[in-house]
Amino acid sequence: MKEKFLGVNVSSHSYNQLKEKIMLDIEQKKQSFIVAINPEKILRAQQDAELRRLLNGATYQIPDGVGVLLASKIKGGDISQRVTGIDMLLTLCEQATIHDKSVFLYGAKPGVAEKAKESLIRKYPNLKIAGVLDGYVKDQGYIKQQINAAKPDILFVALGSPRQEHWIVENMKDLDVRIFQGVGGSFDVLSG
Ligand code: UDP
Protein backbone atom coordinates (compact mmCIF):
# COMPACT_ATOMS: atom_id res chain seq x y z
CA MET A 1 0.00 0.00 0.00
CA LYS A 2 1.98 2.95 -1.33
CA GLU A 3 1.26 6.30 -2.92
CA LYS A 4 3.75 8.10 -5.17
CA PHE A 5 4.66 11.79 -4.86
CA LEU A 6 6.93 13.11 -7.64
CA GLY A 7 8.32 9.61 -8.00
CA VAL A 8 8.81 8.95 -4.27
CA ASN A 9 6.80 6.20 -2.52
CA VAL A 10 4.99 6.84 0.75
CA SER A 11 3.26 4.09 2.70
CA SER A 12 -0.47 4.57 3.15
CA HIS A 13 -0.73 2.09 6.02
CA SER A 14 -2.27 3.39 9.21
CA TYR A 15 -0.16 3.77 12.33
CA ASN A 16 -1.57 0.55 13.78
CA GLN A 17 -1.04 -1.42 10.57
CA LEU A 18 2.58 -0.25 10.40
CA LYS A 19 3.20 -1.14 14.02
CA GLU A 20 1.81 -4.64 13.54
CA LYS A 21 3.68 -5.23 10.28
CA ILE A 22 6.99 -4.15 11.82
CA MET A 23 6.58 -6.36 14.88
CA LEU A 24 5.65 -9.27 12.59
CA ASP A 25 8.85 -8.66 10.57
CA ILE A 26 10.82 -9.14 13.80
CA GLU A 27 9.01 -12.40 14.58
CA GLN A 28 9.58 -13.65 11.04
CA LYS A 29 13.23 -12.62 11.21
CA LYS A 30 12.85 -10.34 8.20
CA GLN A 31 15.05 -7.30 7.82
CA SER A 32 13.20 -4.08 7.18
CA PHE A 33 14.13 -0.45 6.79
CA ILE A 34 11.98 2.51 7.83
CA VAL A 35 12.50 5.93 6.34
CA ALA A 36 10.58 9.10 7.18
CA ILE A 37 9.45 11.03 4.10
CA ASN A 38 8.84 14.77 4.22
CA PRO A 39 8.43 17.28 1.39
CA GLU A 40 12.09 18.31 1.74
CA LYS A 41 13.27 14.77 1.00
CA ILE A 42 10.85 14.46 -1.92
CA LEU A 43 12.27 17.66 -3.41
CA ARG A 44 15.86 16.61 -2.82
CA ALA A 45 15.12 13.28 -4.53
CA GLN A 46 14.10 15.16 -7.71
CA GLN A 47 17.73 16.07 -8.38
CA ASP A 48 19.22 12.93 -6.93
CA ALA A 49 18.19 9.71 -8.66
CA GLU A 50 20.28 7.61 -6.29
CA LEU A 51 18.51 9.10 -3.26
CA ARG A 52 15.17 8.44 -4.96
CA ARG A 53 16.11 4.78 -5.51
CA LEU A 54 17.29 4.53 -1.93
CA LEU A 55 14.08 6.02 -0.47
CA ASN A 56 11.92 3.85 -2.71
CA GLY A 57 13.97 0.80 -1.76
CA ALA A 58 13.07 1.13 1.93
CA THR A 59 10.48 -1.28 3.30
CA TYR A 60 8.32 1.41 4.91
CA GLN A 61 8.25 5.09 3.95
CA ILE A 62 6.39 6.83 6.74
CA PRO A 63 4.52 10.10 6.03
CA ASP A 64 6.43 12.58 8.19
CA GLY A 65 5.10 16.04 7.39
CA VAL A 66 1.75 17.64 6.81
CA GLY A 67 2.81 18.48 3.24
CA VAL A 68 2.63 14.78 2.38
CA LEU A 69 -0.87 14.50 3.89
CA LEU A 70 -2.04 17.53 1.96
CA ALA A 71 -0.61 16.20 -1.32
CA SER A 72 -2.35 12.87 -0.71
CA LYS A 73 -5.66 14.62 -0.05
CA ILE A 74 -5.37 16.65 -3.26
CA LYS A 75 -4.67 13.47 -5.23
CA GLY A 76 -7.60 11.66 -3.62
CA GLY A 77 -5.23 9.36 -1.72
CA ASP A 78 -5.62 7.61 1.63
CA ILE A 79 -2.80 9.04 3.74
CA SER A 80 -4.56 10.85 6.54
CA GLN A 81 -2.30 10.43 9.54
CA ARG A 82 1.13 11.91 10.06
CA VAL A 83 3.70 9.46 11.42
CA THR A 84 6.82 11.33 12.50
CA GLY A 85 10.19 9.67 12.85
CA ILE A 86 10.29 10.32 16.60
CA ASP A 87 6.73 9.02 17.12
CA MET A 88 7.67 5.85 15.29
CA LEU A 89 10.83 5.53 17.44
CA LEU A 90 8.72 5.87 20.61
CA THR A 91 6.11 3.43 19.32
CA LEU A 92 8.79 0.87 18.52
CA CYS A 93 10.32 1.31 22.00
CA GLU A 94 6.89 0.73 23.53
CA GLN A 95 6.36 -2.35 21.35
CA ALA A 96 9.85 -3.62 22.19
CA THR A 97 8.99 -3.34 25.90
CA ILE A 98 5.73 -5.25 25.43
CA HIS A 99 7.25 -7.99 23.24
CA ASP A 100 10.58 -8.27 25.03
CA LYS A 101 12.69 -7.02 22.10
CA SER A 102 15.81 -4.91 22.30
CA VAL A 103 16.88 -1.63 20.71
CA PHE A 104 20.25 0.02 19.96
CA LEU A 105 20.85 3.76 19.60
CA TYR A 106 23.54 4.68 17.06
CA GLY A 107 24.31 8.29 16.16
CA ALA A 108 24.47 11.93 17.35
CA LYS A 109 27.32 13.67 19.21
CA PRO A 110 29.20 11.86 21.99
CA GLY A 111 27.02 11.65 25.13
CA VAL A 112 23.74 12.43 23.36
CA ALA A 113 22.64 8.82 22.68
CA GLU A 114 23.46 8.04 26.34
CA LYS A 115 21.13 10.86 27.47
CA ALA A 116 18.47 9.72 25.00
CA LYS A 117 18.80 6.26 26.53
CA GLU A 118 18.16 7.66 30.03
CA SER A 119 15.13 9.53 28.75
CA LEU A 120 13.74 6.38 27.09
CA ILE A 121 14.28 4.33 30.25
CA ARG A 122 12.34 6.94 32.24
CA LYS A 123 9.47 6.50 29.79
CA TYR A 124 9.73 2.71 29.40
CA PRO A 125 11.49 1.34 32.51
CA ASN A 126 11.56 -2.22 31.17
CA LEU A 127 12.95 -1.32 27.75
CA LYS A 128 16.03 -3.35 26.83
CA ILE A 129 18.64 -1.02 25.37
CA ALA A 130 21.28 -3.35 24.00
CA GLY A 131 23.77 -0.56 23.36
CA VAL A 132 24.50 3.03 22.37
CA LEU A 133 27.20 4.45 20.11
CA ASP A 134 27.86 8.03 19.00
CA GLY A 135 27.73 8.98 15.34
CA TYR A 136 31.29 10.30 15.07
CA VAL A 137 33.16 7.01 15.47
CA LYS A 138 35.14 6.59 12.25
CA ASP A 139 36.02 2.88 12.36
CA GLN A 140 33.21 1.17 10.44
CA GLY A 141 34.48 -2.28 11.47
CA TYR A 142 34.24 -1.31 15.14
CA ILE A 143 30.71 0.08 14.70
CA LYS A 144 29.48 -3.14 13.07
CA GLN A 145 31.26 -5.26 15.67
CA GLN A 146 29.59 -3.35 18.54
CA ILE A 147 26.15 -3.66 16.99
CA ASN A 148 26.54 -7.35 16.13
CA ALA A 149 27.80 -8.13 19.62
CA ALA A 150 24.69 -6.46 21.08
CA LYS A 151 22.31 -8.19 18.60
CA PRO A 152 19.48 -5.67 18.88
CA ASP A 153 16.14 -6.38 17.24
CA ILE A 154 15.76 -2.70 16.34
CA LEU A 155 18.53 -0.25 15.39
CA PHE A 156 17.84 3.49 15.39
CA VAL A 157 20.34 5.38 13.23
CA ALA A 158 20.68 9.12 13.88
CA LEU A 159 23.27 10.41 11.40
CA GLY A 160 21.07 12.97 9.62
CA SER A 161 19.55 12.55 6.20
CA PRO A 162 20.53 11.26 3.67
CA ARG A 163 23.71 10.04 5.39
CA GLN A 164 21.77 7.66 7.67
CA GLU A 165 19.79 6.16 4.77
CA HIS A 166 23.01 5.52 2.82
CA TRP A 167 24.60 4.01 5.91
CA ILE A 168 21.66 1.66 6.51
CA VAL A 169 21.53 0.41 2.92
CA GLU A 170 25.29 -0.13 2.82
CA ASN A 171 25.47 -1.98 6.13
CA MET A 172 22.25 -3.88 6.71
CA LYS A 173 23.46 -7.06 5.06
CA ASP A 174 26.38 -7.23 7.52
CA LEU A 175 24.31 -6.65 10.65
CA ASP A 176 22.43 -9.11 12.85
CA VAL A 177 19.52 -6.70 13.23
CA ARG A 178 15.89 -6.96 12.06
CA ILE A 179 14.52 -3.39 11.93
CA PHE A 180 16.48 -0.29 10.88
CA GLN A 181 15.06 3.19 11.28
CA GLY A 182 16.73 6.45 10.24
CA VAL A 183 15.78 8.91 12.99
CA GLY A 184 17.62 12.17 12.12
CA GLY A 185 17.85 14.52 15.10
CA SER A 186 15.60 12.41 17.38
CA PHE A 187 18.31 11.61 19.95
CA ASP A 188 19.00 15.35 20.33
CA VAL A 189 15.28 15.94 20.92
CA LEU A 190 15.05 13.11 23.47
CA SER A 191 18.18 14.20 25.32
CA GLY A 192 17.23 17.88 25.48
N1 UDP B 1 25.36 13.26 13.05
C2 UDP B 1 26.17 12.19 13.39
N3 UDP B 1 27.29 11.96 12.65
C4 UDP B 1 27.65 12.73 11.61
C5 UDP B 1 26.79 13.81 11.24
C6 UDP B 1 25.65 14.05 11.99
O7 UDP B 1 25.88 11.46 14.33
O8 UDP B 1 28.69 12.47 11.00
C9 UDP B 1 24.15 13.50 13.86
C10 UDP B 1 24.05 14.87 14.49
O11 UDP B 1 24.84 14.94 15.68
C12 UDP B 1 22.56 14.95 14.78
C13 UDP B 1 21.97 14.15 13.62
O14 UDP B 1 23.02 13.40 13.05
O15 UDP B 1 22.24 14.29 15.98
C16 UDP B 1 21.40 15.03 12.50
O17 UDP B 1 20.32 15.69 12.95
P18 UDP B 1 19.49 16.63 11.97
O19 UDP B 1 18.41 17.22 12.76
O20 UDP B 1 20.42 17.50 11.18
O21 UDP B 1 18.94 15.53 10.94
P22 UDP B 1 17.65 15.57 10.04
O23 UDP B 1 16.53 15.16 10.95
O24 UDP B 1 17.53 16.96 9.52
O25 UDP B 1 17.97 14.55 9.01
Residues 74-115: tens digit of each pLDDT: 989 999 899 999 999 999 999 999 999 999 999 999 999 999
- Element housing 131 (H / E): strand 128-133
Residue numbers of the domain that contains 162: 2-191
CA angle at 146 for the pair 140 and 152, rounded to the nearest 5°: 120
- ipTM value of the model? 0.95
**Mean pLDDT over the full length of the chain:** 96
Give the chain's domain count. Answer: 1
CA dihedral 38, 41, 46, 51 (to 10 degrees): -130
pLDDT in tens, 21-45: 999 999 999 999 999 999 999 999 9
pTM reported for the whole predicted model: 0.97
Q: Is omega for the bond preceding 162 within 30 degrees of 0, making it cis?
A: yes
Nearest Cα neighbor of 155 from 126, 192, 164 is 164
By alpha-carbon position, which residue is closest to atom 5 of ligand 1?
A: 159
Q: How confident is the model at residue 17 (pLDDT cuts 50, 70, 90)?
A: very high
With the most atoms of ligand 1 within 8 angstroms of its CB, the residue from 188, 190, 191 to mutate is: 188
Check if the beta carbon of residue 11 is closer than 8 Å to that of residue 34: no
% pLDDT > 70, the chain:
100
pLDDT at 1: 84
What lines the ligand 1 site, CB under 6 Å? Answer: 107-109, 135-136, 158-161, 184-185, 187-188
pLDDT, residue 87, reads 95
Residue nearest ligand 1's atom 17 by CA:
185
Calculate how far, in angstroms, residue 69's C-alpha sits from the geometric centre of ligand 1: 25
Terminal Cα-to-Cα distance of the chain (whole angstroms): 36
What confidence score (pLDDT) does residue 65 get? 86
Integer Cα distance of 57 and 35 in angstroms: 10
